[in-house]
Protein backbone atom coordinates (compact mmCIF):
# COMPACT_ATOMS: atom_id res chain seq x y z
CA UNK A 1 0.00 0.00 0.00
CA UNK A 2 1.48 3.23 -1.11
CA UNK A 3 1.05 6.40 0.91
CA UNK A 4 0.88 9.53 -1.10
CA UNK A 5 2.32 12.54 0.65
CA UNK A 6 1.77 15.98 -0.63
CA UNK A 7 4.64 18.24 0.30
CA UNK A 8 4.97 21.78 -0.83
CA UNK A 9 7.75 22.33 -3.28
CA UNK A 10 10.75 24.03 -1.78
CA UNK A 11 10.70 27.77 -2.20
CA UNK A 12 13.45 29.41 -4.18
CA UNK A 13 16.25 30.90 -2.10
CA UNK A 14 15.92 34.52 -1.16
CA UNK A 15 18.09 36.88 -3.17
CA UNK A 16 21.16 38.01 -1.30
CA UNK A 17 21.86 41.66 -1.50
CA UNK A 18 25.44 42.66 -2.11
CA UNK A 19 24.89 46.13 -0.66
CA UNK A 20 26.59 47.11 2.50
CA UNK A 21 24.21 47.58 5.33
CA UNK A 22 24.03 51.19 6.39
CA UNK A 23 23.54 52.24 9.94
CA UNK A 24 20.06 53.56 10.61
CA UNK A 25 19.89 57.09 11.87
CA UNK A 26 17.82 57.64 14.97
CA UNK A 27 15.64 60.67 15.04
CA UNK A 28 15.80 62.72 18.20
CA UNK A 29 13.04 61.96 20.67
CA UNK A 30 10.28 64.50 20.90
CA UNK A 31 9.49 65.97 24.27
CA UNK A 32 5.73 65.99 24.58
CA UNK A 33 4.16 67.60 27.59
CA UNK A 34 0.49 67.92 28.34
CA UNK A 35 -0.14 71.30 29.84
CA UNK A 36 -3.51 72.13 31.30
CA UNK A 37 -4.80 75.46 30.15
CA UNK A 38 -5.64 78.04 32.72
CA UNK A 39 -9.29 78.17 33.63
CA UNK A 40 -11.05 81.09 32.06
CA UNK A 41 -13.79 83.43 33.09
CA UNK A 42 -16.47 81.23 31.51
CA UNK A 43 -15.39 78.24 33.60
CA UNK A 44 -15.31 80.35 36.76
CA UNK A 45 -18.79 81.70 36.00
CA UNK A 46 -20.06 78.17 35.38
CA UNK A 47 -18.61 77.00 38.68
CA UNK A 48 -20.13 79.85 40.70
CA UNK A 49 -23.42 79.69 38.81
CA UNK A 50 -23.69 75.93 39.19
CA UNK A 51 -22.84 76.00 42.89
CA UNK A 52 -25.56 78.60 43.47
CA UNK A 53 -28.14 77.17 41.04
CA UNK A 54 -28.27 73.56 42.20
CA UNK A 55 -29.40 74.25 45.80
CA UNK A 56 -31.99 76.72 44.50
CA UNK A 57 -33.31 74.06 42.14
CA UNK A 58 -33.43 71.56 45.00
CA UNK A 59 -35.45 74.03 47.06
CA UNK A 60 -37.70 74.74 44.07
CA UNK A 61 -38.35 71.06 43.35
CA UNK A 62 -39.07 70.31 46.99
CA UNK A 63 -41.52 73.24 47.12
CA UNK A 64 -43.14 72.14 43.86
CA UNK A 65 -43.57 68.57 45.07
CA UNK A 66 -44.96 69.50 48.49
CA UNK A 67 -47.16 72.49 47.57
CA UNK A 68 -47.79 72.11 43.85
CA UNK A 69 -46.33 75.59 43.29
CA UNK A 70 -42.87 76.97 42.60
CA UNK A 71 -40.94 79.26 44.89
CA UNK A 72 -42.66 82.45 46.05
CA UNK A 73 -41.75 85.58 44.10
CA UNK A 74 -39.99 87.17 47.06
CA UNK A 75 -39.16 90.86 47.41
CA UNK A 76 -39.46 92.51 43.99
CA UNK A 77 -39.62 89.05 42.42
CA UNK A 78 -35.99 88.29 43.30
CA UNK A 79 -36.52 84.70 44.53
CA UNK A 80 -38.65 83.82 41.53
CA UNK A 81 -36.05 85.36 39.22
CA UNK A 82 -33.27 83.42 40.94
CA UNK A 83 -35.32 80.25 40.47
CA UNK A 84 -35.78 80.87 36.76
CA UNK A 85 -32.14 81.78 36.19
CA UNK A 86 -31.06 78.68 38.13
CA UNK A 87 -32.99 76.42 35.77
CA UNK A 88 -31.37 78.16 32.81
CA UNK A 89 -27.89 77.83 34.33
CA UNK A 90 -28.28 74.07 34.87
CA UNK A 91 -29.63 73.54 31.36
CA UNK A 92 -26.77 75.67 30.00
CA UNK A 93 -24.10 73.66 31.84
CA UNK A 94 -25.59 70.37 30.63
CA UNK A 95 -25.79 71.72 27.05
CA UNK A 96 -22.16 72.90 27.23
CA UNK A 97 -21.14 69.50 28.56
CA UNK A 98 -22.97 67.64 25.79
CA UNK A 99 -21.49 69.93 23.14
CA UNK A 100 -17.98 69.38 24.53
CA UNK A 101 -18.62 65.62 24.71
CA UNK A 102 -19.59 65.46 21.03
CA UNK A 103 -16.62 67.58 19.92
CA UNK A 104 -13.83 66.14 22.08
CA UNK A 105 -15.11 62.77 23.25
CA UNK A 106 -14.91 63.77 26.92
CA UNK A 107 -16.88 66.06 29.15
CA UNK A 108 -15.90 69.40 30.60
CA UNK A 109 -12.44 69.81 32.11
CA UNK A 110 -12.17 69.35 35.86
CA UNK A 111 -11.36 72.99 36.49
CA UNK A 112 -9.68 74.26 39.62
CA UNK A 113 -9.91 71.78 42.51
CA UNK A 114 -12.21 69.63 40.35
CA UNK A 115 -15.08 72.06 40.86
CA UNK A 116 -16.18 72.31 37.24
CA UNK A 117 -16.35 68.52 36.97
CA UNK A 118 -18.35 68.41 40.20
CA UNK A 119 -20.73 71.11 38.96
CA UNK A 120 -21.15 69.19 35.71
CA UNK A 121 -22.12 66.02 37.59
CA UNK A 122 -24.46 67.84 39.95
CA UNK A 123 -26.08 69.58 36.98
CA UNK A 124 -26.84 66.22 35.35
CA UNK A 125 -28.35 65.00 38.62
CA UNK A 126 -30.39 68.21 38.92
CA UNK A 127 -31.68 67.76 35.38
CA UNK A 128 -32.70 64.20 36.22
CA UNK A 129 -34.50 65.45 39.35
CA UNK A 130 -36.25 68.14 37.27
CA UNK A 131 -37.52 65.54 34.81
CA UNK A 132 -38.72 63.23 37.59
CA UNK A 133 -40.47 65.91 39.69
CA UNK A 134 -42.00 67.66 36.67
CA UNK A 135 -43.21 64.28 35.39
CA UNK A 136 -44.78 63.42 38.76
CA UNK A 137 -46.33 66.90 38.92
CA UNK A 138 -47.81 66.46 35.46
CA UNK A 139 -49.20 63.01 36.32
CA UNK A 140 -50.72 64.18 39.62
CA UNK A 141 -51.92 67.68 38.69
CA UNK A 142 -52.31 67.40 34.92
CA UNK A 143 -49.90 70.30 34.33
CA UNK A 144 -46.78 71.96 35.61
CA UNK A 145 -46.87 75.54 36.86
CA UNK A 146 -45.92 78.25 34.42
CA UNK A 147 -42.97 80.60 34.79
CA UNK A 148 -45.12 83.38 36.26
CA UNK A 149 -46.77 83.03 39.68
CA UNK A 150 -50.47 82.24 39.52
CA UNK A 151 -53.29 83.32 41.82
CA UNK A 152 -53.72 79.70 42.89
CA UNK A 153 -50.28 79.68 44.50
CA UNK A 154 -49.54 83.23 45.58
CA UNK A 155 -52.86 85.06 45.23
The domain spans of the chain are 41-147
66-92: per-residue pLDDT in tens? 988 888 888 988 998 999 999 999 999
Question: Which DSSP state fits 7?
Answer: -
Non-local CB neighbours of 150 within 8 Å, separated by 6+ positions: 69
CA-CA distances (angstroms) from residue 27 to 24, 30, 92? 9, 9, 47
Of 72, 69, 80, 59, whose CA–CA distance to 129 is shortest?
Answer: 59
Q: With bands split at pLDDT 50, 70 and 90, how would you rate the model's confidence at 7?
A: low
Question: From its phi and psi, is residue 77 left (phi > 0), alpha (psi between -120 and 50) or beta?
Answer: left
Helix/strand/coil (H/E/C) assignment for every residue in 26-90: CCCCCCCCCCCCCCCHHHHHHHHHHHHHHHHHHHHHHHHHHHCCCCCCCHHHHHHHHHHHHHHHH
Higher pLDDT, 2 or 131: 131
pLDDT (0 to 100) of residue 97: 93
pTM for the full predicted model: 0.70
Asked if pLDDT for residue 133 goes beyond 90, the answer is yes
φ, ψ for residue 123 (rounded to 5)?
Answer: -65, -40
Amino acid sequence: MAVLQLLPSPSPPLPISRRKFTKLRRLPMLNVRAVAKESGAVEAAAIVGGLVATPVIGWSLYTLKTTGCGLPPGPAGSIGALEGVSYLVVVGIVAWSLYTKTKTGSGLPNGPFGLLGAVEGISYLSLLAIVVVFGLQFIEQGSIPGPLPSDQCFG
